[in-house]
Amino acid sequence: MNEFSIVCRILGTLFNRAPQDPVLQPLITMIADGKLKQAWPLVQDELLERLQQNSELSVIEADYHALFTGESASVAACRTDYTDEKESEVRQFLAGRGMPLSDAPADQFGSLLLAASWLEDQAAEDEVQAQITLFDEYLLPWCGKFLGKVEAYATSSFYRTLAIVTREALQALREEFESE
């Protein structure tokens, strides 16, 4: 797994799973212990320290649920909530690349980041073009609004900081495509 895949997988998992999810626990522990910095390929040390300082599980768990779950969620997490585009377009694009899909929305923000990691890990001949398409057509056009809402509605510094980390990381990853 390369740096691009690591960044997308970590960020996608943090947005896609509730903090108390057993799959997420090792990552939350890594953040709380200050060990994410060692594995993080981007220069975002100050922001990662801020995540560490604000990683109390009960606080981020409550914030996650207020932000993303239930009918009273503060922030819609799917592309279809921000654009006139259909979820089926994303689903068709990913299925066309051979990605196995569940019944969950394929256009959820965290899921799209995980899809970018999956595309990278598959290392197909046209992986870079597929990733560029995923970023340019299905993720970047609406992620600013999504991350802005996360920053505005988060009650914990953890999710406000995560939105900033993610915004900077997506910009760096997209710039990496240009160099390839």
Q: How do the domains of the chain map onto residue ranges?
A: 3-179
For residue 140, pLDDT over 80 is answered with yes
pLDDT confidence bin for 56, thresholds 50/70/90? very high
Cβ(75)–Cβ(68) under 8 Å?
yes
pLDDT at residue 174 above 60? Answer: yes
How far is Cα 155 from Cα 135, in angstroms, rounded to an integer? 28
pLDDT digits (tens, 9 = 90+) for 68-123: 998 889 999 999 999 999 999 999 999 998 899 999 999 999 999 999 999 888 86
* pLDDT mean across residues, the chain: 91
User: How sure is the predictor about 125, in pLDDT bands with cuts at 50, 70 and 90?
Assistant: low
Place domain 3-179 in its CATH homologous superfamily: TorD-like (1.10.3480.10)
Contact predicate 64/19, CB 8 Å? yes
pLDDT tens for 26-53 read 999 999 999 998 889 889 999 999 999 9
C-alpha distances (whole Å) from 72 to each of 21, 40, 75 are 20, 33, 9
pLDDT reported for residue 126: 56
Mapping DSSP onto H, E and C, the string for the chain reads CCHHHHHHHHHHHHHHCCCCCCCCHHHHHHHHCCCHHHHCCCCCHHHHHHHHHCCCHHHHHHHHHHHHCCCCCCCCCEHHHCCCCCHHHHHHHHHHCCCCCCCCCCCEHHHHHHHHHHHHHHCCCCHHHHHHHHHHHHHHHHHHHHHHHHHHHCCCHHHHHHHHHHHHHHHHHHHHHHHC
pTM of the model: 0.93
Cα separation of 134 and 22, whole Å? 28
Question: Residue 139 corresponds to which tokens in the numbers above?
Answer: 């993720």
Q: Residue 180's pLDDT band (boundaries 50, 70, 90)?
A: low
Q: How confident is the model at residue 129 (pLDDT cuts 50, 70, 90)?
A: confident
pLDDT at 145: 97
